[in-house]
Structure 1
């Protein structure tokens, strides 16, 4: 029984357990203690440790595993490969990243993609929180009135890369799990599009950086045709756009006034609140399903149009129905980024 052992012996056993020694190895170093007593000590003081099993011992002992967990959870910018390099130096062993991944999963962690989100300053957080508070009582019927819009970059080859982090199950995002982004660092093709409750509207390819003059042309063409196509009346629709300078120019705001279009006051740096961002992700996913990459921009544009026109209203409605939950999550996060 463990209570017949002195504390010094118990401490010695715990030290050996923490360093990854088996019951047999501990017994060899402390002959006066039985294996059953070692098991009792382990059950009482180290219940999280794996029970001894046959076969080759794991490369990462409990101490190294706990160290790996601390590495990736205390600093979510540390990748599995970086953690592996640190552990190799710590243990003096050659360790494969897959070994570290398995150890982290056994410890209850799950890998997650680091979302690319804008870096929020406090004023952005405050604006997002104020927006959520102002719209926390909106129902899906209220959001049905909104026509969502945005521009996106579409690469002809590949993507802008995926970054991974580790988090505990049920844990939300923290700032270190987010990859900061900058607005449009150039790319293969720029696309403007919009969507509403009844589906996607008309989109267009941007031949160059969007200017206020180009945007007024879009408003008079693709935007206006989208309203008619989607059955949305100018006097009833609420138009969502981000705060790009080309959108907020005086001639653009005057155009909205002249045509009786109500604008949704949008918080800066809030793509996670815009359901059309999820539409972009699905658009790019479907483009990636082609067996061969497009031969050029013209072929890419043909594919973009085909995929864009394939979206049904049911998919758009699914995204718009998420708005009450997005608002609730922003309130819960006190204005910070959310997992959308």
Structure 2
């Protein structure tokens, strides 16, 4: 939670110099081929209002892409199954030339998620040798990657072109990716999603604090009871200290040790 909140701050501060990358799957026929029709309420199953279903989407291609607030970088089709060696080759042949083409300067920060190929020791060593600064990414947070908004933009543009085969699909992808203006890339910035994530982290933290504060208040009331309840209070004491240990509430634990632990000596 804390890392996600820090990430939101970092992205908002470094948006101009942040260079995002990721992979995506583009299907020939599938979610990319959404069509809308005018029909009556009970005509949803009329053949003229439906489209045939193609098994497995009619095939697909896997793409790697990158972009910054200055525009889109190169788009690369991944042939076969990508491993760490292939990923490093993609970075060498596409990332660095894209950075130079967009004139990113020396202060830019590279971003990719925690895919095992991205976090492999050899990949980290390659990035270090290239003197690339990498944004630390929290675990299980693929939805925070800003390139997802640009993938959506690309898929909408592909649906309008309606390619008929995989070769045509790849060609359309390359053409439409290059046409995406820098103004759209700037729109793909930390907006409502990151702000909502940041607020959610703060909300969870405040909620946890309220629960512990209420529990601590109840504990104070119980600790003021008579000596007949000491055995019961010792059980509560263990649970409360476990809470402090789990959530690392050192200040709260120190307050307890100072003010209430002596009561158990009665």
- Give TM class, smaller chain: 0.5 to 0.7
* Structural mapping, 1:130-209, within 5 Å: 130-135=2-7, 137-138=9-10, 140=12, 142-159=14-31, 188-209=60-81
The corresponding residue for 1:295 is 164
TM-score with structure 1 length normalisation? 0.49
The one of 313, 329, 336 equivalent to 2:196 is: 329
**Greater share of helix residues, 1 or 2?**
2
Pairwise CA RMSD of aligned residues? 2.6
Q: Give the TM-score normalised by the residue count of structure 2.
A: 0.62
5+ residue gaps, structure 2: 35-57, 204-266
| Deviation readout 1:297-339 (Å, 9 max, x if unpaired) | 111100000110010111000112xx15433311322389xxx
Q: Is 1:214–2:81 an aligned residue pair?
A: no
Matched, 1:283 2:150: no
8 Å CA contact retained: 1:135, 1:327: no
Superposed, which structure 2 residues align to 1:104-119 within 5 Å? none
The residue that corresponds to 2:176 in the other structure is 307
Q: Give how far 1:161 is off.
A: 10
In 1, Cα distance between equivalents of 2:8 and 2:157:
33
Gaps of 5+ in 1: 1-128, 163-185
The equivalent position to 1:239 in structure 2, one of 110, 128, 153, is 110
Please give the secondary structure, in 1, of the residue aligned with 2:97: helix
Choose which of 255, 260, 274 in structure 1 pairs with 2:145.
274
In structure 2, distance between residues paired with 1:187 and 1:132: 35
In structure 1, what is the equivalent of residue 188 of structure 2? 319
Aligned residues: 181
Aligned partners of 1:141, 1:202: CA distance in 2, in Å? 25
Q: Which has the higher contact order (CA 8 A, sep 6+)?
A: 2
